[in-house]
Amino acid sequence: MSDVLIRLSQLGKCFSGPAGDVTVLKNINLAIERGEILAVIGKSGSGKSTLLSIIGLLDNATAGHYALCDTDVRSLSHYQTSILRNQNIGWVFQNFNLVSELSVLKNVELPLKYNKNIKKTDYKAIALKQLERVGLLDKQNNFPEQLSGGQQQRVAIARALVGEPDVLLCDEPTGNLDSENADQIVDLLLTLNAAGSTVLIVTHNESLAQQCGRIIEIKDGMIV
Ligand SMILES: Nc1ncnc2c1ncn2[C@@H]1O[C@H](COP(=O)(O)OP(=O)(O)O)[C@@H](O)[C@H]1O
Ligand SMILES: [Mg+2]
């Protein structure tokens, strides 16, 4: 059995606009195995977030193939894609994207509402388990604005983990953090990887990239 979780073959992405077509990614070949931790680096505008959006099923490639868990994503309906996205992908963003009106606990419970297989009465226990992993059990009743940036990012990571996704996609996860908080997030991502999570990190943080098992650089839309 192949342990490849994500396979991109000759993948390309072109945006069409009033000023014409812009090719953002071309001929991307990449296989990511279950359990890997991988850093994606490259200059601003090189296509890193676009690549992550395609892998995270938020956008479609315009050329080539993408297989997630051995399933060609183009063969899926919108509904099937949304289920795959909800159950297999955990997102972590630079600006945390927490809901300010909801408590930490309710933020972490949020993705569970989109999974019909999970009973409402189980939400709290599942969310608390992930809050414990990120070391924030004691903040469950606080609101995001009462937390430091690093703590908010740990809540976002707990939320990303709550559906037990196959892969964590992190787009500049330390981009808004000071170095001390950034180091804590790096340690957490490495710990999660050691516990079995597959982790993809777009980053400018050199020490973070160096600690990953593999680094790929994107330049002018291609892996170099
Ligand atoms: N929805 C879009 N429509 C048109 N162009 C886009 C869109 N999204 C991104 N781009 C362009 O694609 C290029 C790569 O963007 P992005 O993937 O965000 O780069 P990075 O994350 O490496 O900074 C940029 O030139 C950007 O302007
Ligand atoms: Mg980006």
pLDDT digits (tens, 9 = 90+) for 145-187: 999 999 999 999 999 999 999 999 999 999 999 999 999 999 9
The pairing of beta strand 214-219 with beta strand 63-68: unpaired
pLDDT bucket at 116, cuts 50 / 70 / 90: confident
CA 185/CA 56 separation, integer angstroms: 21
Per-residue confidence (pLDDT) for residue 2, from 0 to 100? 61
The percent of residues in the chain predicted with pLDDT above 90, rounded, is 91
Q: Helix or strand or coil: residue 67?
A: strand
Q: Which of 202, 111, 199 is nearest to 158 (CA)?
A: 111
| Token output for 136 | 């924030």
Asked whether 181 lines ligand 1 (CB < 6 A), one says no
Looking at residue 115, its pLDDT comes to 87
Residue 47, pLDDT > 60, answer: yes
Q: Which ligand is nearest to the CA of 171?
A: 2
CA separation for the pair 212, 200 (Å, rounded): 9
Q: Compare 84 and 124 and report the one with higher pLDDT.
A: 124
Domains defined for the chain, CATH in brackets: 36-57+89-223 (3.40.50.300)
- Is 45 near ligand 1, meaning CB less than 6 Å away? yes
From the number of C-beta atoms within 10 Å of its C-beta (0-12, 13-18, 19+), residue 209 rates as: buried
Spatial distance between the Cα atoms of 31 and 189, rounded to a whole number of angstroms: 20
Per DSSP, 110 falls in state G
pLDDT, tens digit, for every residue of 90-106?
999 999 999 999 999 99
Whether the pLDDT of residue 73 is over 90: the answer is: yes
Ligand 1 proximity of 219 Cβ (cutoff 6 Å): no
The pTM of the full predicted model, rounded to 2 decimals, is: 0.94
- Distance between Cα 89 and ligand 2 center (Å): 18
Whether the CB of 42 sits within 6 Å of ligand 1: yes
